Structure 1
Amino acid sequence: MESDVLLNNLQKSKQLIARYADLDYAAYTLKYYIQHYDKKSLFTFLSLIPTLILIYLPKLVINFRVNMLMFLIVAVISFVLLKYGFFNLLIRFKRKALWQENQPKLLNLMDKMNNVVHQLDAFTVLPPKYRTVHAADTLESYIVNKRIDNHKEGLNLYEDELLKMQQRQNQRVQIQQNYEMINQNKKMIHQNIKMIRAQAVTNALSMFK
């Protein structure tokens, strides 16, 4: 009976945790969009238009004597001012407007996330450290497969398996590093052999001089 209650608790906890993760991702995505709002590619294209006009204007006007170097300098300065001055200012204003526009939505997401946290605090058997979908899934599988009788046993078993998983990962990293070192040593040996052979040929040729 205890295992059934625990299983039900874990299943509902997993739903709440997944809900929190979705809300957190939505908030992160919105913040990332605002913080990295950038239309420089479009602005670069727009800034090229007056630059090209300034460059090709002397060719379009008949009998218009002008210093091409001066036109080129003015064109480059115009491009730089438009792209890195005026358009950067527009981007900052747009980001500020986006923050103000989306602030109610972000606050709503934060309220929903806090509500999920309160529900978990009042309901779940999982300590804060283990409030992940992976932990809930793993503990649920322990119960289904009759590996534990209570959540404390499940948490201990989960910690043991996490430790073993980390150890295996460290071993794989070490093996990969050793493999790379062996390959580097092989390359160095091969280069040394080539140098020795080249020196031997040089020495042999010097004997006939």
Structure 2
Amino acid sequence: MVPNIAQMLGLALTLTLLSTPSLSSPAILPPTKDGSRSTARSDCLPDQECTDGFNVRFGNLDVECGRKLDDEQVTDVPVLDFTVPDDRDTSSDVESQSPQGAMLLMLVDPDAPSASDCPNTYWLHWMAQVRFQDGMMKVEQTLVDFSPPSPPSGSGPHRYQVLLHVLKDDVPKVAVPGTRSAFDLDTFTKSIKGIGELQASFQFRVDCGKRE
């Protein structure tokens, strides 16, 4: 039996739909050992990938990419280390872009005040000018003091993103944002003369712990 034209068109449409990726699929980080993942809606501020060799630690706790933590686990100022893997493109290495290795560090929350609301601005938790020596971070100037991640009770787990931008040696003093809330990350970074591209990033999640 020879299929008619309508059947052939229907088959072609089915194959097209099956082979076309969904444009509204949420950004998802790889699952961690505890099975947790980030599932940001497509209309929310985006997830950040975790850069190879860029590590975050709170006290003695080494944070896994995408891991969900309790807010009581993240009260200490985080310790960061960053080493560029041998197989990574060295043209984007810290030392090749900035001889002195000056970098701008930011810790932001893209889900404040509530993850379900999908806000379009960030909450700024930390900003500093830093350098890395033998892979370990040294804070040269704190621009905005560290404020521990503390999502409001009932607002759901929040994503927290550590961002590292290269700064050129001739960059003027970074203007300190006037407020932590409603922080427009894109506008702020574009306002800094001589800022480089995003060099490294890391993302984890924090939920408000249960209280006795």
Please indicate, yes or no, whether the TM-score normalized by the shorter chain is above 0.5: no
| TM-score under structure 2 length normalisation | 0.20
> Larger Rg: 1 or 2?
1
Larger relative contact order (Cα-Cα within 8 Å, sequence gap ≥ 6): 1
| Greater strand proportion | 2
| TM-score under structure 1 length normalisation | 0.20
| Greater helix proportion | 1
